[in-house]
Structure 1
Amino acid sequence: MNTDLEEQEDELLALQSIFDSEEFVRDESKSAGEIRVSVELPADFNVVLKEGDSLRQYEISFLPPLLLTFDLPQDYPSSSPPSFTLTCSWLTHPQLHALGVQLTDLYQATRGAVVLFSWVQFLREDALKFLDIHSVLELPSDEHNTELCDQDKDSATLSEPNNIEHTPTSEPTDDQHCDVSDPCEPHLPGSSSQVQENPSTSDGISTDSQGACALDSHQQTQTRDSSPNKHQTSDLSITPSQALMSQILLYNAAQKQKLFTTTLFDCGVCFMSWLGSECVQLFQCGHIFCKPCLGKFCKVQIKEGNVRGVTCPEADCGGSPTPAQVRSLVGEELFSRYDRLLLQSTLDHMADVTYCPRNSCGSAVIVDTSSTAAMCSVCNFAFCVKCKKTYHGAQDCHTMKTEKEDIIPQRGYASLPQSKEGLKAVWDDYSSASKERKRILERRYGRDVMQGTLTMWLSDDWITDNCKHCPHCFCKIQKISGCNVMTCTRCHQLFCWACLTRLEKYGSDHFQSSDCVHYPLDFAYRA
């Protein structure tokens, strides 16, 4: 007997040295404890849930651990195997039953030797192969769960009390009940009402914090109500199978993040090695950078107003950090600027958005592309989308400009010519005239008109004659030289200068499929 106790103590001490506190918990009051066993998954492992005609499939790297709760009898390992409970949220009762039988067989094959570590190794490395699960784990549907629960409930009323004494030939009974969505924190055997050493109890279950089904090969205890309709009225309005899938995905994400934070990565900017806890991984492209480098990069772009430049620093990469990542990197003050400028930039790139031309307003206005009229919803100013002046109906913007130039002369002065050519002739005469000639023109038309109003009118006319509107943001653009592929300096839209057609890329086939030419004749001569 003393030899058995010594071997038990040595085995428990060995387990404490091998596993960390999250994996192994010992009950110091007796030879008992629990071990969480993380099953090793092959590459490209998928979890599948079928719900009627729909199929949900997710690739995962981690499954919630199996919980092996054990109690060592006094004559273990020489005569009796450990009394144990095997708990898992994503395995069915038949699968847990098969694993329980296999654990008992492993002890029988090594009778007289400690077996807990061998059990853990089997569950970790060979459990999936033993259950014929290779690359896909199909979760039981809710219909299957309901049928199983009904069958277990019926069998529980006819079952005999289970013997709590373990014998080498004993096998787990089939009086288990499955409830995959009723969470309950696991406890050590004998330390809670979840496992009662009462020979008269039957049809027992044990559930872990992930809503697990439990198989007790030696003790069966009914611990909570498990009506199949219990979860149909939950506040979350999700089925037990959906809840189980959600738990698996959340656990997988948490374990991947835990692995990331403890792994060393080389920053793509400074090329130094950093722990994942000091790094940021961009979700779109997967590139990893240290927080100081990526933070400085984002801060420079935001301070310069180039919010479109807050992207992955990797060359030719289209990824970008999420708003939450930007906030954590640059702080609240710069993030507010980033958020505001990003909204502004987004509006600038929308073809159906312009801005109220009033300096005191400047609000974004959604326009109807089939009309040139727009009205600001903030100040109710109606304006023309093309010329940004007060709306002038169906009249052409240029005609409206000349008609508004029904120049009312100042009192005692002559009227300026109404035509554009006449106005230009007067200005040419004035700008090249002698001082005496200028005084004569100023006495005729008025000094304010010659020095201010006339130049303003001519400037507006020059802009109208020499500039075109960007087909995307309607910004006025002047073409000085070069080919007919233009880039708007405001919204960066590529377009053809000749016909104002939007171009997707510089090497567009627009010039092969239309009458427009890539290089104008005057440009070819200069070249």
Structure 2
Amino acid sequence: MNTDLEEQEDELLALQSIFDSEEFVRDESKSAGEIRVSVELPADFNVVLKEGDSLRQYEISFLPPLLLTFDLPQDYPSSSPPSFTLTCSWLTHPQFISYLLLQLHALGVQLTDLYQATRGAVVLFSWVQFLREDALKFLDIHSVLELPSDEHNTELCDQDKDSATLSEPNNIEHTPTSEPTDDQHCDVSDPCEPHLPGSSSQVQENPSTSDGISTDSQGACALDSHQQTQTRDSSPNKHQTSDLSITPSQALMSQILLYNAAQKQKLFTTTLFDCGVCFMSWLGSECVQLFQCGHIFCKPCLGKFCKVQIKEGNVRGVTCPEADCGGSPTPAQVRSLVGEELFSRYDRLLLQSTLDHMADVTYCPRNSCGSAVIVDTSSTAAMCSVCNFAFCVKCKKTYHGAQDCHTMKTEKEDIIPQRGYASLPQSKEGLKAVWDDYSSASKERKRILERRYGRDVMQGTLTMWLSDDWITDNCKHCPHCFCKIQKISGCNVMTCTRCHQLFCWACLTRLEKYGSDHFQSSDCVHYPLDFAYRA
């Protein structure tokens, strides 16, 4: 007896040294405890849930652990195996819910057989190794774990109700042929009942030194309670759920996905990675992984990169620093890297940039407003919803109806001159001649022109009108964001400096890529004559 107790103590101390506190918990008051066993999954392991015609499939790397709760009898390991309970939340079968009993029962029998094969030796570590490395193969689960649909579970529950009076589904007794005799009980909850996300199925092995099959009075009481519950819940509305509730299968899927994400994050924080910018090794807890592309950078490098882009106003440049990569950090990652102040600027500029990329959005031309305005592309009229200013989308002046924007500009130029001063010429050529005379004149000549037309007109209004005319004559609007663009030289493939949209300068057609076949299928030419001549 003393030898058994010494071996038990040595085994428990060895388990404490092998497993951490999250994996192994010992009951110091007696020779008992619990072990959480994470099964090893093969590559490309998937969890599948069928719901009607839809199929939800996720690739995972971790499943919630099996919980092995044990209690060592005084004559273990020389004569008796440990008394144990095996708990699992995901061990189900897509066709026969009763097959769950066989799966859990088979695992329990296998653990007992492992003890029988090594009679007289400690066995807990061998059990853990079997559950971790061979449990899935033993249960014939290879690369897919298929969760049962709730509709199928309902049908199986109805079948179980019909046979409830003939058998006891909550208790299965097994008597091994080898000595000593063990009464093994498999306990699963009623599959018809709703479960919480943490609900589980249990197999409990209670070794007994008596011969024969013992009577389980608690099992009979559980059966009566089970039948009463079925009768009480047999109303047709039992399985109806609201739109905001989730089914037990969906809850189980969520539990598996959340556990998988938590374990992957835990593994990430304790692993060394090489930063793609400074090429130094960092722990994952000091790194950021971009979800879109998977590239990993240390927080200092990625933080500095994002801060520079935001300070320069280039929010579209807050992307993956890796060359030719289209990934980008999430807003939550940007916030953690740059702080609240810069993130507020980033959020505001990102919204502004997004609006700039929308073809049906323009801005109120009033300097005191500048609010975004949604326009009807079939009309040139727009009205600001903030200040109620009606304006022309093309010239950004007060809405002038069906009149041409250029005509309205000419009429505006014909204003009443300041008192005591002469009127400016009405034509563009006359205005240009007055400006050329003024800009190249001597101080005396400038004073004469200022006395004739007014100093404010010569230094302010005239230059503004000439600038507007020059922009109108020499610039075109981007077909995507309507930004005014001037073409200095080069081919007819233009890139908007604001929204980076490619378009044809000749006809303002949007281009998908630089090597577009637009110039082969239209009258537009890729290289204008003046460009070809200079080349």
**TM-score interval w.r.t. the shorter chain?**
0.7 to 0.9
* C-alpha distance 67-453 of structure 1, shift in aligned 2 (>3 A): closer
User: Shift in Å at residue 451 of structure 1?
Assistant: 5.4
List per-residue Cα deviations over 1:77-113 (Å, max 9, x = no partner): 2222211111101114991011111112222222222
Are 2:182 and 2:207, in contact at CA under 8 Å, matched by a contact in 1? no
Give the counterpart of 1:398 among 406, 410, 425.
406
CA distance in 1, matches of 2:80, 2:262: 39
In structure 1, the residue matched to 2:243 is: 235
* C-alpha distance 357-182 of structure 1, shift in aligned 2 (>3 A): farther
User: Shift in Å at residue 124 of structure 1?
Assistant: 0.8
Are 1:407 and 1:416, in contact at CA under 8 Å, matched by a contact in 2? no
The answer to which of 113-122 and 207-216 deviates more is: 207-216
The answer to which of 223-232 and 475-484 deviates more is: 223-232
CA distance in 2, matches of 1:486, 1:37: 62
User: Shift in Å at residue 402 of structure 1?
Assistant: 1.1
CA distance in 2, matches of 1:377, 1:268: 47
* C-alpha distance 423-216 of structure 1, shift in aligned 2 (>3 A): same
In structure 2, the residue matched to 1:20 is: 20
User: Shift in Å at residue 478 of structure 1?
Assistant: 2.1
User: Shift in Å at residue 53 of structure 1?
Assistant: 2.4
Are 1:430 and 1:438, in contact at CA under 8 Å, matched by a contact in 2? yes
* C-alpha distance 85-215 of structure 1, shift in aligned 2 (>3 A): farther
CA distance in 2, matches of 1:203, 1:516: 97
List per-residue Cα deviations over 1:177-234 (Å, max 9, x = no partner): 9999999999999999999999999999999999999999999999999999988669
CA distance in 1, matches of 2:205, 2:321: 63
* C-alpha distance 144-177 of structure 1, shift in aligned 2 (>3 A): farther
Q: What does 1:32-431 align with in structure 2 at a 5 Å threshold?
A: 32-92=32-92, 95-146=103-154, 169=177, 237-410=245-418, 415-428=423-436
The answer to which of 144-153 and 246-255 deviates more is: 144-153
User: Shift in Å at residue 310 of structure 1?
Assistant: 0.7
User: Shift in Å at residue 505 of structure 1?
Assistant: 2.4
The answer to which of 81-90 and 458-467 deviates more is: 458-467
The answer to which of 167-176 and 233-242 deviates more is: 167-176
Are 1:4 and 1:74, in contact at CA under 8 Å, matched by a contact in 2? yes
The answer to which of 417-426 and 463-472 deviates more is: 417-426
* C-alpha distance 370-82 of structure 1, shift in aligned 2 (>3 A): same
Q: Partner of 2:222: helix, strand, or coil? A: strand
List per-residue Cα deviations over 1:260-296 (Å, max 9, x = no partner): 1111101111111111111100000000011111111
Q: Partner of 2:8: helix, strand, or coil? A: helix
User: Shift in Å at residue 508 of structure 1?
Assistant: 2.3
TM-score (norm 1): 0.84
CA distance in 1, matches of 2:220, 2:253: 12
Are 1:34 and 1:188, in contact at CA under 8 Å, matched by a contact in 2? no
CA distance in 2, matches of 1:317, 1:391: 45
The answer to which of 404-413 and 332-341 deviates more is: 404-413
* C-alpha distance 481-189 of structure 1, shift in aligned 2 (>3 A): closer
User: Shift in Å at residue 250 of structure 1?
Assistant: 0.6
Are 1:265 and 1:288, in contact at CA under 8 Å, matched by a contact in 2? yes
CA distance in 1, matches of 2:211, 2:380: 77
User: Shift in Å at residue 520 of structure 1?
Assistant: 1.7
List per-residue Cα deviations over 1:9-65 (Å, max 9, x = no partner): 222222222111111111122221111111111000111112222221111110111
Are 2:476 and 2:486, in contact at CA under 8 Å, matched by a contact in 1? yes
Give the counterpart of 1:517 among 505, 515, 525.
525
Identity %: 100
CA distance in 2, matches of 1:87, 1:351: 58
List per-residue Cα deviations over 1:407-435 (Å, max 9, x = no partner): 43455665544333344445556666778
The answer to which of 329-338 and 508-517 deviates more is: 508-517
Are 2:170 and 2:186, in contact at CA under 8 Å, matched by a contact in 1? no
CA distance in 1, matches of 2:218, 2:312: 49
User: How large is the RMSD of aligned CA atoms in angstroms?
Assistant: 6.2
CA distance in 2, matches of 1:96, 1:126: 14
The answer to which of 158-167 and 240-249 deviates more is: 158-167
* C-alpha distance 370-478 of structure 1, shift in aligned 2 (>3 A): same
* C-alpha distance 197-155 of structure 1, shift in aligned 2 (>3 A): farther
Are 1:159 and 1:175, in contact at CA under 8 Å, matched by a contact in 2? no
User: Shift in Å at residue 493 of structure 1?
Assistant: 2.2
* C-alpha distance 305-171 of structure 1, shift in aligned 2 (>3 A): farther
Are 1:81 and 1:166, in contact at CA under 8 Å, matched by a contact in 2? no
Are 1:90 and 1:244, in contact at CA under 8 Å, matched by a contact in 2? yes
Are 2:172 and 2:184, in contact at CA under 8 Å, matched by a contact in 1? no
Are 1:4 and 1:75, in contact at CA under 8 Å, matched by a contact in 2? yes
CA distance in 2, matches of 1:211, 1:306: 70
The answer to which of 148-157 and 77-86 deviates more is: 148-157
Are 1:473 and 1:491, in contact at CA under 8 Å, matched by a contact in 2? yes
* C-alpha distance 482-317 of structure 1, shift in aligned 2 (>3 A): same
The answer to which of 469-478 and 308-317 deviates more is: 469-478
List per-residue Cα deviations over 1:141-196 (Å, max 9, x = no partner): 32454456567778887779999999865999999999999999999999999999
The answer to which of 160-169 and 69-78 deviates more is: 160-169
Are 2:170 and 2:219, in contact at CA under 8 Å, matched by a contact in 1? no
CA distance in 1, matches of 2:214, 2:348: 53
Are 1:48 and 1:57, in contact at CA under 8 Å, matched by a contact in 2? yes
User: Shift in Å at residue 485 of structure 1?
Assistant: 2.0
Are 1:485 and 1:518, in contact at CA under 8 Å, matched by a contact in 2? yes
The answer to which of 498-507 and 41-50 deviates more is: 498-507
Q: Partner of 2:223: helix, strand, or coil? A: strand
User: Shift in Å at residue 524 of structure 1?
Assistant: 2.0
The answer to which of 269-278 and 76-85 deviates more is: 76-85
List per-residue Cα deviations over 1:483-525 (Å, max 9, x = no partner): 2222222322222221122222223222222211222212222
* C-alpha distance 218-262 of structure 1, shift in aligned 2 (>3 A): farther
CA distance in 1, matches of 2:28, 2:90: 30
* C-alpha distance 504-193 of structure 1, shift in aligned 2 (>3 A): closer
CA distance in 1, matches of 2:260, 2:389: 55
Gaps of 5+ in 2: 95-102
CA distance in 1, matches of 2:216, 2:164: 21
Q: Partner of 1:482: helix, strand, or coil? A: coil
Q: Partner of 1:212: helix, strand, or coil? A: helix
CA distance in 1, matches of 2:320, 2:143: 34
The answer to which of 454-463 and 14-23 deviates more is: 454-463
The answer to which of 160-169 and 493-502 deviates more is: 160-169
User: Shift in Å at residue 129 of structure 1?
Assistant: 0.7
* C-alpha distance 238-124 of structure 1, shift in aligned 2 (>3 A): same
CA distance in 2, matches of 1:512, 1:172: 89
* C-alpha distance 29-222 of structure 1, shift in aligned 2 (>3 A): farther
* C-alpha distance 479-2 of structure 1, shift in aligned 2 (>3 A): same
